[in-house]
Structure formats: C-alpha cells, structure tokens
Amino acid sequence: MMNSSDFLVSTLPNLHGAPFQQYAGMLPLALDNAPSNVTQPELFFWYIPSPTPSQNLIVWLNGGPGCSSLNGLFLENGPYMFSSSDDTLQLNQHSWHLHLGNVVYIDQPIGTGFSFDATPEAQMFSLQEATNTQLLNFLKNFRAVFPETAHLDLYLTGESFAGIYIPMIADAMILDAAYDWKLKGIGLGNPVLDVSRQMNPVDDGYMVDQVDFLAESGFWDGSSAATEARSKFTNITEGCLAVGMDERMQNPGLQCDQAMRSVSDWYQTSHTELGANNTCFNMYHIDKSIPCNNKDASHHLWRQEAATVRYLNAKETKRALNIPNEYPWASCSQVRLAPPSPEAPIASTNLIDRLVASNISVLVYEGDRDLVVNYVSIERILGNTTWANGTGFSSPLKPLHSTSHDVNVPASALGLIQSERGVTYVRVSGGAGHLVPADVPESSIEIMRCLIRAGVSGSTTPTLPVQVSKTLAGATATELRQEDTSTMTRTYEFTEIPVVTSVPGEKAAVSYIPPERVPSANLMASDSVAPFVDVGVAAIAALFSFFVL
C-alpha cells in the first residue's frame, strides 16, 4: 500500500530546496485489486497543502481535452511561475494554496501531460470513462494515500474544456451515494458548456457570438481599415449563416473559417507592437498580441509556457517529481477520447439543475477579453439553461466589489455578477482573458472566495457585496476610534441588503439610509446596490467586529 511519503517532493531544480510541503507522482487508478500481470493506468498529480490549516481541498483541472493541469500550476494559480524573460523560477504570491486552501493539480484523462499512455494502440475511451471512472477512482485512491484530506470540503475547479469535465464528475459523485465526497461546489473558468455551440466553427451560435462579442467588446478601433475588416468579417459570417448546417459541413468551398482569418489579417497589418508583420491576433486575449513568427505562441504567456516545457522535461525535474525519466511532458496532447454521437451532443448545462438540487454551489466566471470562450456565448447559454424551477437569471448583472484586505486588490469593481438559485456568474473585467488567474490573480482569488463562503455556509448562493460607510480597511478597533473615517468606504458582503437600526454597545440611534434617499452628489458608481449606515465613531468599533471576514 502506498503512503504519502512515497510522493514527497523534497527539492526542486532552481529552488534550492522546496519552500513548503508538497507531493507529486504517478498514482495508480486501482491500488489493491488490479491483476498483478496488468500494468495499472496512472494519473499524475501535484498536491500542495496549505501552509495554514484549511478545511478546503481544491482540485484544479485544465481543459483541451488533453491539456495538462500543470499549465494552471505554472502559468496561472500555482506556487511557481517563470520570469517572462528567462527560465528563472519564482514563487507566486497569488498561489491559491496560500489564499484558498489545499490544492491538487491532476493531469487527466490518461494521455494528458505526465499521465503517459504507454499503450497508444489501445481502445479509445469515452468522455464518461475519462471522468466518472478515471478521475473518481483517482480521487478515492488519493484520499487513501492522504487520509487527512478525507474530511475536507471538496471544490472542483478548472478552465475551458473542464467546463464539460467538472459537472460530469460532480454529477457522478452525486450518483455515487455510497461514498461521502463532501463536495461543496464547482468553479468553472471561461468554460466550454456546450461543445457544439462553442467549439464548432460552422455552428450558427458560434458564428453569431463571435460577431457580437467583437462588436460589444470595443475591439474594432474605428479606423477605416478596421471598418472595412469588420464589414468583411460580418459579410462572410452572414453568407455562411444563409445556408444550412449540412451544406456548411459538406461544402468546404464556403470557407466559413475565412471569417476569422479576415480578422487576423487586418490585425497583423494594422498592429506593430511586436514588429511590423510580426504582431498577430491573440484569440485568448484580444488586447495582447502574440508573435507571428513563433508557431508555439498560441497565447500571450507563450514565453512562460515554453519555459515550463523545458523545465518539466528536464531529468532533474522528473526525478524530483517522482516521475520515470522516459515519460515526456507536453502542454497539450492528443487523447483517445471517442467522438461523441451526433444524436447526443456534449453539453454540461443539463446537469446544473441536479447539482443545485443536491446543494452544490455552481460558479461560472468569464474573462471579458477572451474570444475563444467569449462572454456573449456564455451568457446566452446560461440564459437558456433551466435550473431550480427557472430559466436563466431574472435580475441584471450588477457590479461585484472586492472584500479583500489586500491593498493590491483594486477598489474598483472586479466585474459584473448575477447570482440566483444556486448559480453564480461573474463577467470578470480589469484585463481578464481566457486565463483569468494569470491575468487578474487577485480578482480570481476573490471570486473563488465567493464559492468557498457559499460552501462553508451551506448555502448554494455566494454572498453579494454592499458598502458600509465610515469604516477603515484593515484597521483595528482602536484605530477606528482614533481615525477620522468620514470619507472612507469599505466593501463587505451580506446574503441580502441589511437594515441596521441599532448597534450593540452604542446608545445613540443608528440611522439606515436607503440608497434612493442618498443625495446623488454623494453616490459612487456602485451605490445603486450599496446602502449606507450613518453611525458615530464609537459605533464603528462595534460594527467592525461584525463585518470583518
């Protein structure tokens, strides 16, 4: 029987000793009951416990399908990151294990990353096998090797095609009633929720969503060349939409794929940030160019991705991570998933209702500069999804503000939020593309805290932000008594708008001022949903003890 010491990572190249406890290696999917003469399939994992006690176990999965979750570890929310100029390995102060809990990164399904498939001629496996069988078996065995994680609250998180994986995994956990998974919530970043609509370039919805996203996002710069390119892009798309889906699929002469090519051609000729004719369009972040002369530059973190490939394929790194030297690592690989039946299109939205009914919180967050999985598509899909006896959201998007005491978190809105009946959607602003934890790391932590707070409270609906006036961010009660805080504001969270009429320890009456009665000159941009409590300095100290999270 394996135990945690078999997976201990005591040092890593370029770090001169691991700065915190961590474990990695190949974990068989069946530890005790597999035939001795059969090679057991294995999945690679990298487990990073929180340095402080935490009740949370967060699983991170990248998408693809076939993209390694070590992309997330090194490029987005893990403990390490590479310099943009060289292969220097640095610690990431925004690592999720420092702020959110214990995190495990898993290369799945078999054939992804270090989860090397030694039998390339073997039979293909279905998407259900990749999730319900492979990953659930892995997680059961992981808890056997790390028994201290068995009692932790579980959160399944990931990105892109993980929007398909994760709801399927969560649903399988619900059906596996004999095992106590302690699943509290799922977090889906820039997720694929409907494969046909979001990944088929000749699908009606796919084409319309791209046209509308580029128009709404302010992508076109207003120049005559941009106007011409926009017109060409729209005309090609409309020409493809004018014929049926069958003809689009069977008639390559329609060249529907040339619609996006027209956008790329205009971008390359009109942008010179990386040099004339070498500045190409980045579909993962429409504001950040990529070099045209580098075939491996698929997104704006291409330098860090190249450094990750070199680092993880080094013998010293594999030895440190308890991996056989002959196992290669690639950022994304071809995995042997059987193609879906045309009669059964892949969509995970039909699972949301059962997840919410099982008291599992659902969070979807979407970087608003991503074209590949754009917010127009996500919002239309969610708007047509039925859960908890309703379809879509009934209330409009509202500003979401930070509740962090971290001075690095901007006071402006993190984005826009809708949250109803157990499902929360956040359109993330501030320069967030497809890789939200990389582009806006502080915001990603704050958004994930919404999910975890919902899991801790037992509610499927994360708390929403309001503002309370006359508070001082990060101050002690003593400092609050001493400071003039009449112009300071601070954002806190409540499940609903509070009405405050009295404060313990404060004899004077406390006046609640509804937002509509606040003079317009005193309102901030976010105050449409932010009531003010007008209190004396003595009451502030009392309030402070209630509001600090």
Q: What's the token pair of residue 83?
A: 């310099």
Q: For position 278, what pLDDT does the model report?
A: 82
Query: How sure is the predictor about 254, in pLDDT bands with cuts at 50, 70 and 90?
Result: low
Q: In whole angstroms, give the CA distance from residue 412 to residue 377.
A: 25
Place of tokens 């949250």: 419
Place of tokens 């059964």: 344
Q: In whole angstroms, give the CA distance from residue 464 to residue 459.
A: 13
Q: For position 184, what pLDDT does the model report?
A: 96
Does 448 score more than 50 pLDDT?
Answer: yes
Q: For position 39, what pLDDT does the model report?
A: 65
Q: What's the token pair of residue 273?
A: 């940030």
Query: How sure is the predictor about 291, in pLDDT bands with cuts at 50, 70 and 90?
Result: confident
| Alpha carbon 122 to its chain's center | 33
Q: For position 123, what pLDDT does the model report?
A: 56
Report the pLDDT averaged over residues 31-47: 71
272 near 254, Cβ under 8 Å? no
Q: For position 361, what pLDDT does the model report?
A: 96
Among the ranges given (84-98, 189-203, 309-323, 457-471), the one the predictor scored with the smallest mean pLDDT: 457-471
56 near 452, Cβ under 8 Å? yes
Find the farthest-apart pair of alpha carbons in the chain and give their distance in angstroms, rounded: 80
Q: What's the token pair of residue 266?
A: 């205009």
Q: pLDDT tens across 482-519, in order?
A: 333 333 333 333 333 344 444 444 444 443 333 333 33
Q: In whole angstroms, give the CA distance from residue 510 to residue 512.
A: 7
With 0.75 as the threshold, say if the pTM is over it. Answer: yes
Does 536 score more than 50 pLDDT?
Answer: no
Q: For position 501, what pLDDT does the model report?
A: 45
Q: What is the CA radius of gyration of the chain?
A: 25
Contacts of 219 by beta carbon, 8 Å cutoff, 6+ apart: 286
Q: pLDDT tens across 211-225, in order?
A: 999 999 999 887 888
Does 520 score more than 50 pLDDT?
Answer: no
Q: For position 153, what pLDDT does the model report?
A: 97
Q: pLDDT tens across 382-435, in order?
A: 999 999 999 999 999 999 887 655 545 555 678 999 999 999 999 999 999 999
Task: Tell me the residue type at 438.
Answer: A
Q: In whole angstroms, give the CA distance from residue 409 to residue 414.
A: 9
Helix axis angle, 258-270 to 224-241, nearest 10°: 170
Q: In whole angstroms, give the CA distance from residue 421 to residue 480.
A: 37
Q: In whole angstroms, give the CA distance from residue 153 to residue 349.
A: 23
Q: Which of 313, 305, 329 lies closest to 115, judged by CA?
A: 329
Q: pLDDT tens across 324-381, in order?
A: 988 889 988 888 777 665 555 588 999 999 999 999 999 999 999 999 999 999 999 9
Task: Tell me the residue type at 537.
Answer: V
Does 186 score more than 80 pLDDT?
Answer: yes
Domain locations in the chain as residue ranges: 1-151+301-345, 197-297, 464-547
Backbone torsions φ then ψ of 534, nearest 5 degrees? -95, 110
Place of tokens 């999720």: 96
Does 293 score more than 50 pLDDT?
Answer: yes
Does 173 score more than 90 pLDDT?
Answer: yes
Q: For position 471, what pLDDT does the model report?
A: 30
Q: Cis check for the bond before 65: say yes or no (omega within 30 of 0).
A: yes
CATH of domain 1-151+301-345: 3.40.50.1820
Q: pLDDT tens across 102-150, in order?
A: 999 999 988 899 997 766 555 567 777 777 788 999 999 999 999 999 9
DSSP assignment of 81-150 equals EE-SSSS-EEE-TT-HHHHT-EEEEEE-STTSTTS--S-TTSPPB-HHIIIIIIIHHHHHHHHHHSGGGT
Angle at 45 between CA 44 and CA 49, to 5 degrees: 165
Q: For position 130, what pLDDT does the model report?
A: 74
Q: What's the token pair of residue 446?
A: 């704050």
Q: For position 301, what pLDDT does the model report?
A: 82
Q: What's the token pair of residue 175?
A: 């059906």
Q: What's the token pair of residue 348?
A: 């995970």
Percent of the chain residues topping a pLDDT of 70: 74
In DSSP terms, 229 is beta-bridged to: none
Q: For position 464, what pLDDT does the model report?
A: 46
Q: In whole angstroms, give the CA distance from residue 25 to residue 114.
A: 9
414 near 447, Cβ under 8 Å? yes
Place of tokens 């220097």: 88
Q: What dihedral do alpha carbons 192, 197, 198, 204 form, nearest 10°?
A: -160
Percent of the chain residues topping a pLDDT of 90: 45
